[in-house]
Chain A
Amino acid sequence: MRSLAVTLALLSVAASAPAVAKDTGLIFVSNEKTNNVTVIDAKTAKVVADIKVARRPRDMHFNADHSKLYIACGDDDVIAVLDVASLKVVGKLKTAPSPEAFVMDEARRRIYVASEEGSSLAVIDIDRNAIIKEVPTGAEPEGVLISEDGKIVYVTSEVGDVVHAVDVDKGAVVKDVVVGSRPRRLAATPDGKELWVTAELAGKVDIIDRAKFVVAGSVTFLPPGMRKTDVTPVGLTMTKDGKTAYVTLGHAAHVAIVDVPARRVEGYILVGKRAWGITLSRDEQTLYVANGLGDDVTIIDTKTRKARVSVPVGRVPYGIVVDE
């Protein structure tokens, strides 16, 4: 689980998965409005299964051996547990109201989940299927990320414009940092030094120095021909070498490619309407993007930096993960 520790909402869980992964090569897409998960075969780019889960499925994470996929379902206040081999829902964990993004700490058998309507970070005991603690946060908490040692959970408050650091042993917020308007999702650089957070309405990523817990820089986006006001970054993922980040720009219908050490935009890739969820394949050759208002996903070749194909899924696709 430690290798999983720095993954975040919608980030490439598969990229850091251990060798016991089943490698089905399946892509899972959660659809907020049709209450299902669409399963796509990565090789053929064809839909192979459609699984009803619970209402409003959003963030998804595999457990360490990829035998299970956990899916937060916002309107039923549960995290559904999907068996990856049989593609059947085998359990549901109760959460606080409107679960959105979450992280798992399998060593401690815990899930930390942002409760959007409850304005809290709920701590779930996976084995007991119980909420053991609710840590109050700013309104509309969203992005969640756990530190490498499992001691700190970072959570954004979309309305409060802050990122909280929650000490999981104390069960309390220990530090706050003010960031750009409407912070959404988080990614950590592999060296453990920086936390990248998308600020949707500020049209940028803020870079937090984790040691000092202050904003140390930012990267702003503006694809050619787009209006600044359409640039609404939400999802982001980073390569394992920490050199490249990919950021979905929401209504601007592009993914930004960012040189991480230089904090500079290298280019933009055209995708679908309101792109949010994003994940990389394990070999980092392929990028998958969920287009929330296009009801499809875009599959991108990272070498040519061009979209290869778009695949229709359910209504309002939110998250996307790959089992490999």
Chain B
Amino acid sequence: MSRVVRVALAAALILGAVAAAAAEDAAPRQQIKIGFVAIEDDSRYEPIRAYERLILKTREHPFAGAEVAIDEAAALTRVLNTDFILERISAKSAAEVAPAVAAAFEAGTHFFLIDAPAEAFKPLAAAVHGRDALLFNVSEPDDALRRDLCAAEFVHVYPSRAQLMDGLVQYVVSRKWSNLLVFEGPSPGDAAMTAAFTRSAHKFGAHILAEQHFKPGADPREREQNDPAILSAIYRDYDVVFIADEAFDFARTVPYRMIRPRPVIGSIDLEPLAWHWTWERNGAPQVNSRFDRKTGGRRMEGPDWAAWVAVKMIVQSVLRTRSSVLAQQRAFILGDGSFDGDKGLALSVRPWDHQVRQAILLAAPYEVVASAPIEGFLHRTNVLDTLGDDEPESPCHLDK
């Protein structure tokens, strides 16, 4: 949208808001439906186990994050004369996400929270292309969705891998721990994570001394690939080891088993995250506490945060435009809207690829060590754009 059109629309919104405020009592009650779309048996939410009965990490769909935001909006339903209704839509597989969303759209739902892996997004983009719908990606970090798929109907609330890794590299560079060893796992996700990390290292001037491919196992004939000590002996010295291991199986064996006493970052120890349960600034303790109560003691994680923020963005779009017209709500979300995500700097949507600008938390198991952007990484307009694909770097130009 051009600047001129946006200014004109903003003026129309203000007039609309005044009219809406005057007619508030007489207006019929508005209903805004929000579809939460998840896949049954999504492998991203399988528990990570050491053995069958020894669970290291449980992982849950972020529905409760959306519920917390709906609860928070309760007091506004009176002010806005609007009910926000969260519907759970379950698809059997990634392939069924697009038809499920299309069916809900026909039945009158225009806002969706998409909790699905990357492969679900391409057919989904085709299904909603040009329609009056806005879909919030709440759990998938895949950079290709932002760069190559580049669909106007999506808002990526969950951080991209580029944002996450930029945050991590900013931190090590700020500490002058710039000489890095990389351990890359066998899965495609590990490769994507390593690619993003490598790109970030180049961006911020860190040096990757060596990249080692590990192969989890105990076979002595493969010890050069499965023994952290030998893997880390390739280079005389280094500041930090970065490990990309979605399966988490190998990552947990690395700390304290290398040749040199060096910190580990990436999939273990210091992780770049959208959210962490120990974050205690910017109102975070209250949100963590509401989430804890809602779930009976679960700790809030990145996707929960993204689902919570997505619903808050929808509520704010109604609150600030006082409009029941989706086009106006969408214009606010994608345009001048700024949102509180309890991570300090205000969130907003990048006009070029619809990624939500946000801080990245760099978390050790029991402490958020730092929040990126790290002090000193500057940007000409918004320091949050030092994380992830800035406009000149992005191949996606939805605003042009």
A interface residues, Cβ below 8 angstroms from B: 116-117, 119, 136-140, 157-162, 164, 173, 176, 178, 181-182, 201, 227, 229, 251
Bound-state Cα–Cα, A136 to B383, Å: 38
The smallest beta-carbon distance between B323 and chain A, in angstroms, is: 14
User: Which one, A117, A160, A173, contacts B72 given CB within 8 A?
Assistant: A160
When the two chains form their complex, are residues A176 and B286 in contact, meaning their CB atoms are under 8 A apart?
no
Chain B's nearest CB lies how many Å from the CB of A72? 15
The CA of A136 and the CA of B382, in the complex, are separated in Å by 38
Given contacts A136-B75, A159-B340, A176-B78, 12 further A-B contacts (CB under 8 A): A138-B72, A138-B76, A139-B75, A160-B72, A160-B76, A162-B76, A162-B79, A201-B338, A201-B346, A227-B383, A229-B346, A251-B344
Interchain nearest-CB distance for B80 vs A (Å): 9
User: What is B's interface to A at a CB cutoff of 8 Å?
Assistant: 71-76, 78-79, 283, 286, 289-290, 316, 319, 338-340, 344-346, 382-383
Are A139 and B79 CB-contacts (below 8 A) given A116-B286, A158-B283, A227-B383? no
Q: Given the known A-B contacts A176-B78, A178-B319, are A140 and B286 also in contact in the complex, defined by CB atoms under 8 Å?
A: yes
| In the complex with contacts A158-B283, A160-B76, A162-B75, A139-B346 CB distance below 8 A | no
10 A-B pairs within 8 Å (CB atoms) are namely: A119-B75, A138-B74, A139-B286, A139-B290, A157-B75, A176-B78, A178-B79, A178-B319, A181-B339, A229-B382
Question: Contact at B72–A176, with CB atoms within 8 Å?
Answer: no
Q: Which residues of B contact A139 (CB under 8 A)?
A: 71-72, 74-75, 286, 290
Contact yes or no, B346 A181, CB < 8 A: yes
- Are A161's CB and B319's CB within 8 A? yes
A48 to B: closest C-beta gap in Å? 30
Cα A201 to Cα B79 in complex, Å, equals 21
Q: Looking at chain A's contact residues, is the secondary structure mostly helix, strand, loop, or mixed?
A: loop
Cβ of B45 to closest chain A Cβ, rounded Å? 27
Residues of B within 8 A of A227 (CB): 383
State the majority secondary structure of interface residues on B: helix
Query: Which residues of the partner chain A approach B319 to less than 8 Å between Cβ atoms?
Result: 161, 178
Bound Cα distance from A76 to B49, whole angstroms: 38
Q: Which residues of A contact B316 (CB under 8 A)?
A: 161
Which of A138, A157, A159 has the most chain B CB within a 10 Å cutoff? Answer: A159
Q: Which A residues are in CB contact (< 8 Å) with B383? A: 227, 229
Once the chains are docked, how many angstroms separate the CA of A37 from the CA of B366?
Answer: 28
Q: Which residues of B contact A117 (CB under 8 A)?
A: 286, 289-290
| Across-interface contacts of B290 in A (CB, < 8 A) | 117, 139
Of chain B, the residue at the smallest CB distance from A159 is B72
* A181: contacting residue among B72, B73, B338, CB under 8 A: B338
With both beta carbons as reference points, the residue of chain B lying nearest to A158 in the complex is identified as B283
The residue in chain B whose Cβ has the minimal distance to the Cβ of A137 is B75
Q: Which of B71, B339, B345 has its CB near the most chain A CB atoms (within 10 A)?
A: B345
Chain B nearest Cβ from A252, distance in angstroms: 12
Q: Inside 8 A of A119's CB, which chain B residues have their CB? A: 75
Q: Which residue in chain B gives the minimum CB-CB distance to A274?
A: B281
In the complex, residue of chain B having the shortest beta-carbon distance to the beta carbon of A251: B344
**Residues on the A chain within 8 Å of B75, using CB:** 119, 136-139, 157, 160, 162, 164, 176
- Which residue of A116, A157, A173, A178 has the most chain B CB atoms within 10 A of its CB atom? A178
Question: What A residues does B76 contact at CB under 8 A?
Answer: 138, 160-162
**Can you name the residue of chain B whose Cβ is closest to the Cβ of A182?**
B340
**Do A181 and B289 touch (CB < 8 A)?**
no
Bound-complex Cα distance A182 to B71 (A): 17
CA–CA, A161 and B289, complex, Å: 20
Bound-state CA distance A213–B373 (Å) is 39
What's the Cα separation between A164 and B71 when bound, in Å? 17
How far, in Å, is B230 (CB) from chain A's closest CB? 45
Contacts of A137 in B (CB 8 A): 75
Q: Which residue of B73, B75, B289 has the most chain A CB atoms within 10 A of its CB atom?
A: B75
Q: Decide: B78 and A181 in contact? CB cutoff 8 A.
A: no
Instruction: Give the residues in chain A near B289, CB-CB below 8 Å.
Output: 117
Chain B: minimal CB distance from A285 (Å):
34
Do residues B286 and A229 form an inter-chain contact, with CB atoms below 8 A? no
Report B-chain residues with C-beta under 8 Å of the C-beta of A181: 338-340, 346
Neighbouring A residues of B345 by C-beta, 8 Å? 229
Most central of B71, B73, B290, B340 by chain A CB within 10 Å: B340
Given contacts A160-B76, A201-B346, contact A140 B283 (CB under 8 A): yes
Q: Tell me the complex Cα distance, A227–B383, Å.
A: 9
B79–A176 CB distance below 8 A: yes
In the complex, the chain B residue whose C-beta lies closest to that of A316 is B280
A116: which B residues are within 8 A, CB to CB? 286
Complex Cα distance A227/B385, Å? 14
A227 to B78, CA, bound (A): 35
Q: How far is the CA of A140 from the CA of B283 in the complex (A)?
A: 9
Instruction: List residues of chain A with CB within 8 A of the CB of B346.
Output: 181, 201, 229
**List of B residues within 8 angstroms of A201 by Cβ:** 338, 340, 346
Provide the residues of chain A in CB contact with B286, threshold 8 Å. 116-117, 139-140
- A233 to B346, alpha carbons, bound, how many Å? 14
Chain B residues near A157 (CB-CB < 8 A) = 75
Chain B residues, CB < 8 A from A178: 79, 319
Enumerate chain B residues within 8 angstroms of A138, measured Cβ to Cβ: 72, 74-76
CA distance A229 to B345 in the complex (A): 6
| CA–CA, A241 and B289, complex, Å | 42
